Structure 1
Amino acid sequence: MGANEITINSLSELQLIQLAKKSSDIELLHRLSQSSYPTVRRCVARSQRASKKTIDTLACDSALNVSFIANSNPNCTIKKSKNSEHPCVICCVDEEEYISRCGSCENLKFFKATI
Structure 2
Amino acid sequence: MLTLVFWSSGLAKLFDFPTAIAEMEHYGLAPAAPTAIAVIFVQLAGSALVISGRHIWLGAGALGVFTVLTIPIAHAFWSMSGQAAFLEMLFAIEHLSVVGGLMIVAILGRRTAAVQAPVLAGA
**TM-score, normalising length: structure 2:** 0.26
- For the pair shown, the structure with the greater C-alpha radius of gyration is 2
Q: Considering fraction of residues, name the structure with more helix.
A: 2
RCO higher in structure (CA 8 A, sep ≥6): 2
